[in-house]
Amino acid sequence: MNATTNTVDGAGLARGLGWFSIGLGAVELFFPGQLGRMIGVYGHKKLIRCMGAREIAAGIAVLSEMNPIGSMAGRVAGDAMDLSLLGAGMCSYGASKGKLGGAIGAVAGVTALDVICLLKLGKEADPIQTTQTVAINKTPEECYQFWRDFENLPRFMEHVKSVQLTGGNRSHWVVKAPAGMSVEWDAELVSDAPERIEWRSLPGADVDNAGSVEFKRAPAGHGTIVKASITYKPPAGQVGTAVATIFAREPGMQAKSDLRRFKAVIETGEVPTIKGQSSGRMFSRT
């Protein structure tokens, strides 16, 4: 296995696993009874068909993306679900433990390939960069002062849990990840001036990243144009399987959303929300 996976790039391995997923899903979808007998479980046809539909969807997603980091992370999550179901099958009435053990071993092997592929994709991927701008009805000095207090960042950056100053020009970031997990890194300021703040993560970060934000006076002196640029390397290594799904999302959309939240917070002191508001339905007739 090692010799093969070391000579195949992540994209090629992903394509192979995508087609495998579609083939396996077709068998599960159209021949659930026969497959169940083969792996040592009886009945559960609806469940096997559902697993097949999920496999086909996963395979199509992998094959349709240029760099399917998020889809491969979804495959790993699906593998974990399959292993749990097969493990539970050991306790079902009439199950063949020998056949189920073989099926569990086969799924574990595919899971290992999926994880290897995900890590390869993360290592081979080019850094992702996005730049977004927003007009804010505050002076450049006010915008700079608010952003420069890094402990304000979680107020408008949706996935940032906390930013703590650790001394000098360094800070410690904690960012939310799926399943209640989090990723962390230390960052340092590269540039710090009223018109531009620039930072980058330090070696050993869970996610290698860098960013900058510029504050330019708007035309005619009315407000400020804030321009934020973020670059990051899709996560791999020790946290790749856990957080690839969140960082594979469209980065431009997330950055745009965060800037809009920044505008709302600095102009009004809060982020607009519809939480707790009435849905507008009429509960009684008059």
Rounded to the nearest 10 degrees, how much is the dihedral formed by the CA atoms of 243, 249, 253, 256?
20
d(CA 217, CA 198): 18
> What's the predicted TM-score (pTM) here?
0.56
Residue 248 predicted with pLDDT over 90: no
Query: What CATH number should be reported for the domain whose range is 128-268?
Result: 3.30.530.20
Residue ranges of domains in the chain: 2-124, 128-268
Mean pLDDT in the chain? 81
Largest Cα span, the chain: 80
Q: Which of 44-53, 172-181, 271-280 has the lowest mean pLDDT?
A: 271-280
